[in-house]
Structure 1
Amino acid sequence: MNTALIAFFAYIVDKFVGEFTVITHPVIFIGRYISWFEKKFYKNTFQRGLVLAVSTLGLTYVAIWLLETLLSSLPHGISIFISIVIASMFLAHHMLYHSVLDVINSSVPKEKIKYLVSRDTEDMDDHEIYKACIETYTENINDGVIAPLFYLLLFGLKGLIIFKAISTLDSMVGYKNERYSHFGTAGARLDDIVGWIPARISALLIYLAAKGSYSFNTLKKYASGHESPNSGWPIAAAGLAFHLKLGGPTRYFGAIKNKPYLGDGSLPLTQQDVCNVLTLHSKIDYIVLGSMAAMITFLWLIQ
Structure 2
Amino acid sequence: MLAIALILDAALGEPDWLWSRVTHPAVLLGRLVDWLDRTLNRGAARRIKGIAAAALLVAVGWGIGAAIAWVPDFGLLEIIGAAVLLAQRSLVDHVRDVADALRRSPAEARIAVARIVGRDTAEMDDAQIARAAIESGAENLSDGVIAPAFWFAVAGLPGMLAYKAVSTADSMIGYRTPRHEAFGWAAARLDDLLNWVPARLTAGLILLANGAIRHAHRVPNDARQHRSPNAGWPEAAIAPVLGVALAGPRSYDGEVREFPWVNPTGRRNAGAAEIEHACSALWRAWGAGLLLAILLALLGLA
Query: Which whole-Å CA distance do the structure 2 matches of 1:25 and 1:95 have between them?
Result: 14
Percent identity between the two aligned chains = 31
Q: 1:213 to 1:63 in 2, by over 3 A?
A: closer
> Is residue 34–residue 56 contact of structure 1 (8 Å, CA) maintained in 2?
no
Does residue 1:25 correspond to 2:24, yes or no? Answer: yes
- Residue of structure 2 in register with 1:55 after alignment: 53
Q: Counterparts of 1:265 and 1:171 in 2: how far apart (Å)?
A: 29
How many Å apart are 1:282 and its aligned residue? 2.8
CA drift at 1:67: 5.3
**Change in CA separation of 1:220 and 1:69 when aligned onto 2, cut-off 3 Å:** closer
Structure 2 distance, partners of 1:166, 1:234, is 20
Mean alpha-carbon deviation: is it higher for 287-296 or for 269-278?
287-296
The alpha carbon displacement at 1:64 in A equals 4.2
Counterpart CA distance in 2 for 1:44 and 1:228 is 29
Q: Secondary structure at the match of 2:249?
A: strand
- The residue number in structure 2 matching 1:185 is 185
Q: For 1:10-40, what per-residue CA distance to the aligned partner results, in whole angstroms no more than 9, with x for missing partners?
A: 1011010112442321111111122223234
How far apart, CA to CA, are the structure 1 residues paired with 2:43 and 2:115? 26
User: What is the distance in 2 between the residues matched to 1:221 and 1:64?
Assistant: 35
Task: Tell me the residue number matched to 2:266.
Answer: 265
Match of 1:76 in 2: 73
Which residue does 2:300 correspond to in 1?
Answer: 299
Indicate conservation of the 8 Å contact 1:44/1:179, yes or no: no
Q: Post-superposition shift, 1:217? A: 3.5
> Equivalent residue for 1:3?
none
In the other structure, the counterpart of 1:125 is 125
**Hey, what does 2:9 align to over in structure 1?**
14
Matched, 1:245 2:240: no
The residue type paired with residue 76 of structure 1 is: D
Distance 1:50 1:157, change over 3 A: farther
Q: Which runs of 5+ in 1 are unaligned?
A: 1-5
Provide closer, same or farther for how the CA distance between residues 63 and 276 of structure 1 changes in structure 2, counting only shifts above 3 A: closer
Q: Which segment drifts farther, 142-151 or 48-57?
A: 48-57
Distance in 1 (CA, whole Å) between partners of 2:2 and 2:55 is 22
Partner of 2:34: 35
Q: Which amino acid is 1:192 matched to?
A: D
- Quick check: 59-68 or 96-105, which moved more? 59-68
Larger deviation: 56-65 or 84-93?
56-65
RMSD between superposed Cα atoms in Å: 2.0
Residues 107-159 of structure 1, C-alpha deviations (whole Å, 9 max, x = no match): 41211211111111122221111111000000111101111100000000111
Per-residue CA deviations over 1:205-256 (Å, capped at 9, x if unaligned) read 1111221154443211111111111000100111122211101001112211
Q: Which moved more, 1:31-40 or 1:127-136?
A: 31-40
Q: Give per-residue Cα distances to partners, 1:136-193, cap 9 Å, x unaligned.
A: 0001111011111000000001110111111111111112334333332221111111
Contact 1:44 1:183 in 2 (8 A): no
